[in-house]
Amino acid sequence: MIGMSQANLVEPWRVTMNREIQAEAAKYADMRVVFTDAEQSSKKQINDVKNLMAEGIDLLIISPNEADRLTPVIQQIYRQIPVIVLDRSINGYGYSLFIGSDNERIGEQAGR
């Protein structure tokens, strides 16, 4: 089972991403994805992730609402299962994989 924790679903690309993940997971009879929407609340996202862990997820995919608040939670989960951090990074390297852009570098290049 995969837990997918989005920071919000206000941005249309996040909704599309969830649909694509669900479509890919549907190709495998034994794969289940549980989606959560933190609604731009770190407190809610922390509770969502704890609930996903209690459900027994095998992989967490998370777009953290706030790095400072979510870093310790993500690092703790990473000690138990693989964690993919998506779009927004956390402090340090307590995760399996980061998928996202380097916004600082993009800004530097745009400023040239």
pLDDT tens figures, 7-30: 999 999 999 999 999 999 999 999
Residue 111 has a pLDDT of 85
Q: Judge whether residue 104 has pLDDT over 80.
A: no
Range of the domain at 74: 2-110
Q: What is the CATH number of the domain that holds 86?
A: 3.40.50.2300
Number of structural domains found in the chain: 1
Residue whose token pair is 């600082």: 104
Residue 32 has a pLDDT of 95
Q: Which of 20-34, 39-53, 92-106 is least confident?
A: 92-106
Residue 84 has a pLDDT of 97
Beta bridge partners, 2, equal 33, 59
Residue whose token pair is 């994989």: 97
